[in-house]
Amino acid sequence: MDAITFRFLMSLAASQNLEMYLMDVVTAYLYGSLENEIYMKIPEGLKMPEDLKSKAKEICSVRLQRSLYGLKQSGRMWYNRLSEYLLSKDYVNNAICPCVFIKKSSSGFVIIAVYVDDLNMIGTQKEIDDARTHMKEEFEMKDLGKTKFCLGLQIEHFQDGIFVHQSNYTKRVLKRFYMDKATPLSTPMVNRSLDVEKDPFRPCEDNEEVLGPEDIYQIHTKLDHKQVMFSQLVEPRSPGVRKSKLWLQRLQIMQKLLLSMKHVESVCGSGL
């Protein structure tokens, strides 16, 4: 299942007031059966049969009967095992969305969207409960309740809809660039009036000045990106060498960001 399909299923659940539940398959890859003969070295701790104890482990091997984590075909074997079971339970899918299984009944329907070992169930409550029951009978499952996290998206359920955000991802990015301990400041939004005559951002009319009487002073405080960048590249006055290196790393990251911003502005300006 890709992100586009999952976003569509979320919009369907929000518009039709459907339920969304998430289940996790425990050791999913171990359920797959191998189609080819695969052998591996005898792992540590495995007892040798009596008739092979006299032989060295280096010349012996074991044949796998089921897939293991680390095999290239483990994901495909697990999908074949799951698909075979769901099709036997009257689910249907097609080649366009092979990881989406749908089952209809007289009272409703359920959609199972598969992402590796995560199963998102979207549909009416009764059909979802039936699907959760028969999945637990076949596989060892973790019932995670309503879907709260999938494909990097955080999901919050409300009575009037679904709220999707990425606050955890944003925090990780801030922590990566050492901005998680920065002092936050509120940035109020510009309040715009619905009255055209009072809106300062309305289109200019004929014989009307573009800049207001106070906007001319903003020109003197607008710095070029290169000026900001090179004015910040100063050796820090810190006795610690480690702190100086960390500070220079931050400045190098800032330099790359500012140069990329300047490049985008130059490209846009040349396109105009």
Q: What is the pLDDT of residue 218?
A: 43
Q: What is the pLDDT of residue 48?
A: 74
Q: How confident is the model over 70-81, as pLDDT tens digits?
A: 888 888 889 999
157-166, 178-187, 236-245: the lowest-pLDDT one: 236-245
The SS3 assignment for 261 reads: helix
As a whole number, mean pLDDT of residues 86-99 equals: 90
CATH of domain 3-31+72-144: 3.30.310
In the 8-state DSSP scheme, what is residue 1?
-
6-10, 33-37, 209-213: the lowest-pLDDT one: 209-213
pTM value is 0.60
Q: Is the pLDDT of residue 156 over 70?
A: yes
Q: How confident is the model over 125-144, as pLDDT tens digits?
A: 999 999 999 999 999 999 99
For residues 54 and 24, give the distance between their C-alpha atoms in angstroms, rounded to a whole number: 44
Q: Where are the domains of the chain?
A: 3-31+72-144, 166-202+216-234
**Residue 99 near residue 140 (C-beta atoms within 8 A):** no
Please, which residues have CB within 8 angstroms of residue 12's CB and are 6 or more apart in sequence?
18, 122
Q: Is the pLDDT of residue 177 over 70?
A: yes
Q: Is the pLDDT of residue 186 over 50?
A: yes
For residues 99 and 58, give the distance between their C-alpha atoms in angstroms, rounded to a whole number: 41
* Residue 147, both tokens: 């879907």
Which residue, chain included where needed, has tokens 């792992």?
43
206: amino acid identity, one letter: D
Please, which residues have CB within 8 angstroms of residue 160's CB and are 6 or more apart in sequence?
none
**Residue 32 near residue 80 (C-beta atoms within 8 A):** yes
The SS3 assignment for 26 reads: coil
Mean pLDDT in the chain? 76
DSSP sequence for 117-128: TEEEEEE-HHHH
**Residue 62 near residue 46 (C-beta atoms within 8 A):** yes
Q: Which residue has the higher pLDDT, 119 or 260?
A: 119
Q: What is the pLDDT of residue 198?
A: 72
- How does residue 169 score in pLDDT terms, banded at 50, 70 and 90? confident
**Residue 33 near residue 77 (C-beta atoms within 8 A):** yes
Distances (CA, A) of 66 to 20, 32, 81, 245: 32, 6, 11, 51
Q: Is the pLDDT of residue 223 over 90?
A: no
104: left (phi over 0), alpha (psi -120 to 50) or beta: beta
Q: Which residue has the higher pLDDT, 129 or 196?
A: 129
55-64, 73-82, 166-175: the lowest-pLDDT one: 55-64
Q: Is the pLDDT of residue 222 over 70?
A: no
| Buried-exposed string 93-109: b where 16+ CB fall within 10 A, e elsewhere | beeeeebbbbbeeeeee
Beta bridge partners of 211: none
DSSP sequence for 103-116: EE-SS-EEEEEEET
